[in-house]
Amino acid sequence: MISSFFGKTKPIVHFVLVLLLLLFYFGRIVFFNDGTDFLKDFPLELLAFGVLILVIVVINQIVRFEKITDFNSFAMLFFVLFAIAFSEEFDQKNAIFTSFFLLLALWRLLSIKSIKNVKHKIFDASLLIALASLFYDWALLFLVLVFVVINMYDRTTFKNWLVPFLGVATIFVLTFTILKVTDSLDFFQSHYKFSVSFLEAYSFLQVLNVKALVYFILMVSIAFLVFLRMRSVGGGKLLHLRILFLALVFGLLITLVTPVDESPVVITFFPAAIFLTNYVEAIKRTKLQEAIMIVCMLLAFLLFAMELNP
């Protein structure tokens, strides 16, 4: 029943996903904040929630146009379930905004497959990554992915290798101009520290909690299983999955160097959702597919409840 319902992309499915996210997002806020704090922070909370809704919409469009999964709502569902399971990420507004811009950047990189307007897409992706870095400095690591994609699709055009620097420079010049006008140039020095937190931590658990560690191990394992099943499949989808796997790894690395209370796990939800969707789609037995999706939902709800009652 669950798999058949979310196997469609009808508006009612989108409404259910938004409602599910709404209940858990604001439910957690109300639980952890008193009335005064809630009213004071409500505009920011509403903005962050709106960004999460946009993420769901963008995921649907990526699945539709880039064909990295079958055309269903599984990827959106798994993204929402990851968000519920890691509900502490709702407090990390910078991580939410970063994940949105990185998602848009990934979309532009995945669309390079058509080999049309390659320079424009590279520029857009680089610009979006630089924009994401204004919220999380380590997001600049995703620029490596831009050069990897250039090497995959159009390495012979020398100008392509220069475009990422132009995209980054555009954002930094605009940011510098705004900061100069507002007399806030110290932002660059205070923000772009690229600190490695596990070198300063007393224990590994100060950097990465057990839940995140299990999540990463599970998602990487599922990604390898997907690659094993698709080893005989060539073409664009396999290249897309390789790009998304690198995005997952970069997200993991960024999480590893960030303190647990600032950990941007949310930036890994999209590639993880795509791999989990491909894994579930490959299961031919309907009852087993249904059981896996029920377990995923129950596990997400359980982890949410555990977060409320530590």
What one-character-per-residue DSSP string does 182-195 give?
TT-THHHHHH----
Compute how many other C-beta atoms are within 10 angstroms of the C-beta atom of residue 130.
Answer: 24
Residue 277: C-alpha distances to residues 85, 131, 182, 223, 258 (Å)? 17, 29, 46, 10, 28
Residue type, 121: K
pLDDT for the residue 307: 82
Largest distance between two CA atoms of the chain: 62
pLDDT for the residue 223: 96
CA 236, 80, 51, 90 torsion-angle sign: negative
Residue 12: pLDDT band with limits 50, 70, 90: very high
Q: Give the pLDDT mean for 39-48.
A: 86
pLDDT at 172 over 60: yes
Is 57 a member of any domain? yes
Of 105, 80, 96, the residue nearest 277 (C-alpha):
80
| Token pair for 116 | 């049309």
In order, the DSSP letters of the chain are -HHHHHTS--HHHHHHHHHHHHHHHHHHHHHHS-HHHHHHHHHHHHHHHHHHHHHHHHHHHHHHHH-SS-SSSHHHHHHHHHHHHTGGGGG-HHHHHHHHHHHHHHHHHHGGGG-SSHHHHHHHHHHHHHHHHTT-GGGGGGHHHHHHHHHHH-TT-HHHHHHHHHHHHHHHHHHHHHHHHTT-THHHHHH-----GGGT-SSGGGTS-HHHHHHHHHHHHHHHHHHHHTTT--SHHHHHHHHHHHHHHHHHHHHHTS-GGG--GGGGHHHHHHHHHHHHHT---HHHHHHHHHHHHHHHHHHHHHHH--
67 dihedral zone (left: phi>0; alpha: psi -120 to 50; beta): left
pLDDT at 235 over 70: no
For 22, the domain range is 2-115+197-308
Of 56, 48, 45, the residue nearest 20 (C-alpha):
56
pLDDT for the residue 266: 95
The count of structural domains within the chain is 1
Distance CA 79, CA 278 (A): 14
Token pair 């903005």 in the structure block, residue: 47
Is 135 a member of any domain? no
Residues 110-141: tens digit of each pLDDT:
999 877 889 999 999 999 999 999 999 999 99
Is 99 a member of any domain? yes
Is 168 a member of any domain? no
Distance CA 132, CA 125 (A): 10
In order, the DSSP letters of 115-171 are -SSHHHHHHHHHHHHHHHHTT-GGGGGGHHHHHHHHHHH-TT-HHHHHHHHHHHHHH
Is 27 a member of any domain? yes
Is 145 a member of any domain? no
Residue 175: pLDDT band with limits 50, 70, 90: very high
Is 34 a member of any domain? yes
Residue 94: pLDDT band with limits 50, 70, 90: very high
pLDDT for the residue 1: 74
Distance CA 105, CA 121 (A): 9
Is 29 a member of any domain? yes
Residue 31: pLDDT band with limits 50, 70, 90: confident
Average pLDDT, the chain: 89
